[in-house]
């Protein structure tokens, strides 16, 4: 009797984790820009789209929806395969 080789589909998990890191870095850079603008208001370079009132919601939404959302989906796809002891239905 030959044993079958079994492996999990980690490609989708890897893609979500890469997106998590990228959106985390973008969100932190926007947050750093907002923090610098609180200390030095002229840091918006006289450009209307980089004022504090527009940067702060961008930072909040990037962290909440992009960073945390991708991390949650990556965690679910990682743990679901191991809890159910089965691969994902569709390989990516």
pTM assigned to the model: 0.86
Asked, for residue 6, whether it belongs to a domain, the answer is no
Q: Note whether 12 and 77 are within 8 A (CB).
A: yes
Asked, for residue 4, whether it belongs to a domain, the answer is no
Domain holding 30, by residue range, is: 11-84
Query: How many domains does the chain contain in total?
Result: 1
Asked, for residue 35, whether it belongs to a domain, the answer is yes
**Which residues contact residue 34 at a Cβ distance below 8 angstroms, ignoring those fewer than 6 apart?**
52, 55, 56, 59
Tell me the pLDDT of the chain (92 aa) as tens digits.
788 888 888 999 999 999 999 999 999 999 999 999 999 999 998 889 999 999 999 999 999 999 999 999 999 999 999 999 888 887 76
Asked, for residue 61, whether it belongs to a domain, the answer is yes
């Amino acid at each position: 009797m030959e044993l079958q080789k079994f492996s999990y589909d980690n490609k989708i998990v890897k893609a979500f984790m890469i997106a998590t890191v990228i959106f985390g870095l973008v969100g932190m850079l926007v947050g750093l820009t907002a923090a610098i603008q609180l200390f030095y208001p002229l840091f918006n370079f006289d450009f209307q789209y980089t004022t504090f009132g527009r940067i702060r919601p961008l930072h909040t939404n990037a962290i909440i929806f992009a960073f945390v959302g991708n991390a949650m989906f990556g965690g679910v796809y990682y743990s679901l395969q191991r809890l159910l002891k089965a691969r994902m239905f569709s390989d990516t």
